[in-house]
Amino acid sequence: MRSLYFDCFSGISGDMIIGSLLDAGLEFQELREGLLLLPLKGYDLRAEKTMRRHLGATSFFVDVSEPQSEDRRLHQIVELLEASKLPDKIVEKAKKIFAFLADTEAAIHATTPENIHFHEVGAVDSIVDVVGTLIGLDKLGIDEVHSSPVNVGGGFVECKHGVLPVPAPATLKLLEGVPIYSRGPEAELVTPTGAVLLRTLAKSFGRLPPQKVLFHGYGAGKADFSEWPNLLRVVIGEPAEAYLSDDITVINTSIDDMNPENFEYLLELLFEQGALDAYLTPIQAKKTRPGTLLTVLCEHAATAAMVSILFSESTTFGVRYHREARLKLVRTIIEVATDWGEVGVKVGTGGGDLLTVSPEFEDCRRIARASKVPLKRVYDAARDAAMRKLEE
């Protein structure tokens, strides 16, 4: 498994992300060819080597050569993505990123996502930054993204809505759940494009995870500060140990006065908001009442969202939570062909040894329903196909 770590000591923006990926080994021609699959015209790409406080880096530019719409709506961007020849996985990720952005803007402006006009993030350079980032991560074989806490800068910034404090309201909303701080120059260090990419791609925020470094790179911001190098650093690596290690948040609450029918809906909401797992355990509560222990596992950044759901959708008056270390297998997904269609199969390895092979349940269920064959038959066929592919 290959991971990428964003070191955001001087913030993050879309062009800094792509500059850092190019500096870390992404081929410029591969990026250009990937973006040509998007039906977006009237722009040129450039990448240049530069210096920031005596450190070499790559600057990425999108030069607009024809008049472009600067005020797109969500449905227009979705149509643009669906009309492209990009791989389905990149199209779907890009659609989710822009949908998340629309939801955020709608919450700020008290309207619906369909009525939101994307200004800066609807511009051609921001669309290129979002799609280009996804193309770059795919070409570099990145399986997971992690990040440091984020320096947001300070002062004020002038945008379409006027002069606003840094971080701008949309950026701050996008960074909810992300550890941030303000240090250094009175400048906007995090753009909305950088914030939405970070929020939707990063699985965790904290110190650099233990790993064997494969590549690293620096993406240059447009400003050149005297205080420090205005750079985004990326570190690409793979596990140094036999097993992956991280830590997660474990949330527990005991409930003895809730309609059991409501637990199904509660669990659905928790998973929709990013719970890694959530489960129920029968217990004996106070006064010998039969009760339920609800346990939720999540990334640290999702803790506030999980707690909010528990307080609003259950009858609990309090929750307990703690951080817990976790060991896990190195996991990759391979696609295999069966007589009824493609199935994703999760492959777990440790110390270089193949330890477990597990077909994705949702893929198997979808195929079983569509083809009217037993689920276990699809599951067994996918597992056998995966074993043959791995042995090859």
Rg of the chain over all Cα atoms, to the nearest angstrom = 23
User: Quick one: pLDDT at residue 119?
Assistant: 55
pLDDT along the chain (392 residues), means of 10: 94 97 98 96 94 95 79 86 94 93 79 65 82 97 94 86 85 92 93 94 88 95 92 92 84 96 96 94 92 96 94 97 90 92 92 89 95 96 95 84
Beta-bridge partner residues of 349: 330, 354
SS3 (DSSP) at 270: helix
Which pLDDT belongs to residue 87? 94
> What is residue 115's predicted lDDT score, i.e. its pLDDT?
67
Predicted pLDDT of residue 120:
54
> Any idea what DSSP says for residue 52?
E
**pLDDT score recorded for residue 246:** 84
What is this structure's pTM? 0.70
pLDDT of residue 177: 85
Q: What is the pLDDT of residue 69?
A: 64
- Please report, rounded to a whole number, the percentage of residues in the chain having pLDDT higher than 70: 95
Across-strand partners of 307? none
Q: Are 299 and 248 in contact (CB under 8 A)?
A: yes
Strand-by-strand arrangement of the 244-255 sheet: 277-284, 290-298, 244-255, 320-328
357, two tokens = 């092979």
Q: How far apart are CA 296 and CA 284, in angstroms?
A: 19
Which has the closest alpha carbon to 128: 220, 234, 11, 43?
43
Domains and CATH numbers, the chain: 3-238 (no CATH), 245-327 (3.30.70.1380), 330-391 (3.10.20.300)
